[in-house]
Amino acid sequence: MKVFDKIADVQNEIAQLRKQGKTIGLVPTMGALHEGHLSLVKRCVAENDVCIVDAFVNPTQFNNKTDYDKYPRTVEADAKLLEGAGAAIAWFPTESDIYPEPDTRVFNLGPLAEVMEGPARPGHFNGVAQVLTRLFDIIKPDRAYFGEKDFQQLAIVRELVKNYNIPVQIVGCPIVREADGLALSSRNMRLSADERKHALRISKALFESLKKMDTMSVAEVRKWVCDEINSEPCLEVEYFEISNSLTLQPVENWSDAENIVGCITVYCGEVRLIDNIQYKKA
Ligand code: PAF
């Protein structure tokens, strides 16, 4: 595996690979890698001649300075994991590489960005669009890989590449969970042992709510999930929306859309965790 920081070096390497006709897959990450990221890397390795992984904690997508400062940074461990997962290139850019000047671009991401994380984290998706358009422009990958844990982000990335005609295929990959059900997240590292135990209630409530679809309305399931989670010490639901998976607009009835997703954000102490579940009638 080759490790780069400078854009010129990574682009030089890519130019050589392109001359040899190789296909290139990109896994954009913010580092602090875990099995969830590695599942994206493995899929990228399997589907492309070359897998590039970048790890960059993107300041423009954080609307909370403490969250940005506390975001885990584990460069050496990340490089080892990437080597083990078969990545060909690990790229650790610096802030001045990605943003030689302040990025003032404002992206039109439409109604998908106006719900859930949109109002909860103003400017977040614009920051995601800023960094991804930079990365896509620098690497020009054939495919790029994103986890379904960030369900809304994945929908917005698809919209971004469509609206701005960016020639990259977006590949979504399933959520990876701990054996007990907690969705993997770099933020889990910040949970105390006690918080980690309580956090389990999030995925438990989501899975149990699937069984309630036959007897409860959408509004009742929504309330049941929120009450379940809020009754656990140190957990506080920020939002839980049950929505059409394609438009991300809330549904009122289980029959309102073919594919329905429940997206949740919960504070566990100071750590903001997200998860989601697909509601399918058995
Ligand atoms: O999902 C993430 O880790 C980030 O939002 C991404 C896509 C790497 C952009 O910084």
Sign of CA dihedral 139, 82, 144, 16: positive
131 Cβ closer than 6 Å to some ligand 1 atom: yes
**CA gap 192, 20 in Å, rounded:** 49
130 Cβ closer than 6 Å to some ligand 1 atom: no
| Residue 11 structure tokens | 């682009």
Is a pLDDT exceeding 90 seen at residue 282?
no
What is the pLDDT, as a whole number, of residue 101?
97
CB 7 within 8 A of CB 95: no
28 Cβ closer than 6 Å to some ligand 1 atom: yes
Nearest CA residue ID for atom 1, ligand 1 = 29
What are the structural domain ranges in the chain? 2-173, 186-276
Q: What is the pLDDT of residues 100-157, one digit of tens each?
A: 999 999 999 999 999 999 999 999 999 999 999 999 999 999 999 999 999 999 999 9
Clarify whether 124 is annotated catalytic: no
* C-alpha 214 to ligand 1 mean position (Å): 36
61 Cβ closer than 6 Å to some ligand 1 atom: yes
103 Cβ closer than 6 Å to some ligand 1 atom: no
Q: For residue 28, give the ligand 1 atom closest to its CA.
A: 8
- Across the range 67-95, mean pLDDT stands at 96
**Termini Cα distance of the chain:** 45
Q: What is the pLDDT of residues 84-105, one digit of tens each?
A: 999 999 999 999 999 999 999 9
**CA gap 168, 238 in Å, rounded:** 33
Which residues are registered as beta bridge partners of 173? 147
Establish whether domains 2-173 and 186-276 are of one fold.
Answer: no
**CA gap 91, 78 in Å, rounded:** 11
Q: What is the pLDDT of residues 192-250, one digit of tens each?
A: 999 999 999 999 999 999 999 999 999 999 999 999 999 999 999 999 999 999 999 99
Task: Write a three-state SS string for 63-79.
Answer: CCHHHHHHCCCCHHHHH
- CATH architecture assigned to 2-173: 3-Layer(aba) Sandwich (3.40)
**CA gap 27, 31 in Å, rounded:** 11
- In the block, tokens 């991804």 appear at 132
Q: Are strands 260-268 and 235-244 parallel, antiparallel or unpaired?
A: antiparallel
- In the block, tokens 């790229």 appear at 91
150 Cβ closer than 6 Å to some ligand 1 atom: yes
* C-alpha 120 to ligand 1 mean position (Å): 17
Choose which residue among 29, 60, 61 to substitute to test ligand 1 binding: the one with the highest number of ligand atoms within 8 A of its C-beta. Answer: 29
For 98-141, the DSSP string reads H-SS--------GGGGGSTHHHHSTTHHHHHHHHHHHHHHHH--
- Across the range 24-47, mean pLDDT stands at 98
Task: Categorise residue 21: left if φ over 0, alpha if ψ from -120 to 50, beta otherwise.
Answer: left
Q: For residue 150, give the ligand 1 atom closest to its CA.
A: 1
30 Cβ closer than 6 Å to some ligand 1 atom: yes
Nearest CA residue ID for atom 8, ligand 1 = 29
Sign of CA dihedral 172, 149, 112, 245: positive
Question: Which of the listed CATH numbers 3.20.20.80, 3.40.1010.10, 3.30.1300.10, 3.30.470.160 matches domain 186-276?
Answer: 3.30.1300.10
Give pTM, 2 decimals: 0.97
Is a pLDDT exceeding 70 seen at residue 180?
yes
Q: For residue 54, give the ligand 1 atom closest to its CA.
A: 8
**CA gap 42, 37 in Å, rounded:** 9
Nearest one of 248, 223, 226 to 235, comparing CA atoms: 226
What is the pLDDT, as a whole number, of residue 280?
87
